[in-house]
Amino acid sequence: MKILLCFGTRPEAIKMAPVYHQLKKQANFEVKVCVTAQHREMLDQVLAFFEIVPDYDLDLMQPNQTLNSLSAVILSNMDSILQEVKPDLVLVHGDTTTSSMVALAAFHLGIKIGHIEAGLRSFNKQFPFPEEINRQFTSKLADIHFTPTVVATQNLLKEGISFQNIIQTGNTVIDALLWTKAKISEEGYSLPEIEMLKKTIPVDKKMVLVTGHRRENYGLGLANLCEALLTIAQRKDVSVVYPVHLNPNVQDLVREKLTNKKNIYLVPPSSYPAFVWLMQQSFLIVTDSGGIQEEAPSLGKAVLVTRTISERPEGVEAGFCQIIGSEQKKIEESIVQLLDSFSGFTDVKNPYGTGNASQQIVDFLVSNT
């Protein structure tokens, strides 16, 4: 069986890496990888760490490219790749423009599609944008749906997708996280980036780890976050560490407001192992990222989500995450409350899985080919 894995962003690469390595163990599978490089530099970091060499690299990233131009060029380029490879199955992941356009290209050629991390829904097409529609669109095209949770499975069933085409596996990001955590803990393992962070960040303060990159937070939402962080950083017991996303919509505003401010450490976008290390060192995490909401429970970390709605309700229901929106006062109050009262979780059971999702995906493919 010939399988083509397609992805284009750092989060996809992280979550597809353990699937790739499990598939490579199967003698009866011929596995190929195609990356669109929708995110170039951040994607390459993950490929290097997880030792994945793409068979096809479309290298499509352009400065300030629009969603329409990116969609068109992915669809056009994938046509020739798919006709050359002639895979029996294309595996895509999650909610990116790469995922939805690759799925469409495969559908047009009559190629079977497997969707990993299927079934997530916010039920609001603007939040997150464009990810919510990408997910729904990909679900309409996919033949096999690998869901991470019961909620995701139920979402698909309500949309009329047959139960026999849904395989609930947990989320592969937990596989990647646990592998990475073990790797960076190995005796003798050293990463210059982590060593530099150790020299930069004070160890005697409560670290507030921050990320932000969602389109809906560009402008006012991001400005509110920065103003809240300036207030929080006035506390003597706190350090704010912010790996700043490469997107100019994030970089320009964050650096204008937070550069050279006391107790605030702006660092370049972290490689995945370095970011896992940062999560381990943090007291709490403030983010609009979906993946971090899934990873943090396995590390026993509390997460404040600077969004008004999340397609990952399981973490909220389990008490690991709080949805706090993007108002400055609410962000400040939520951070202060955790800084002053959070003493850890008594029962750390990650609702997104235990680290065997990739194995379950491959087991299904082995038994159904």
Residue corresponding to tokens 């006391």 = 262
Neighbouring CB atoms inside 10 A of 238's CB total: 20
Amino acid at 357: A
**Residue 21 catalytic?**
no
Catalytic residue among 57, 215, 227, 235: 215
Query: Residue-wise over 164-181: b if at least 16 C-beta within 10 A, else e?
Result: eebbbbbbbbbbbbbbbb
Catalytic residue among 10, 40, 93, 117: 117
Catalytic residue among 245, 288, 295, 314: 245
- CA 237 to chain CA centroid, nearest Å: 30
Catalytic residue among 213, 227, 235, 327: 213
Catalytic residue among 12, 131, 294, 314: 131
Amino acid at 217: N
**Residue 195 catalytic?**
no
**Residue 245 catalytic?**
yes
Strand, coil or helix: 266 = strand
Rounded Cα–Cα distance for residues 32 and 65 (Å): 27
Instruction: Record the tokens describing residue 14, joined without a space.
Output: 């992280």
Instruction: Enumerate residues 6+ apart whose C-beta is below 8 A from 190.
Output: none
**Residue 215 catalytic?**
yes
R_g of the chain computed on alpha carbons: 20
**Residue 117 catalytic?**
yes
Catalytic residue among 12, 95, 294, 295: 95
**Residue 213 catalytic?**
yes
Query: Residue-wise over 314-329: b if at least 16 C-beta within 10 A, else e?
Result: bbbebebbebbbbbbe
Give the residue numbers annotated as catalytic, written as ranges: 95, 117, 131, 213, 215, 245
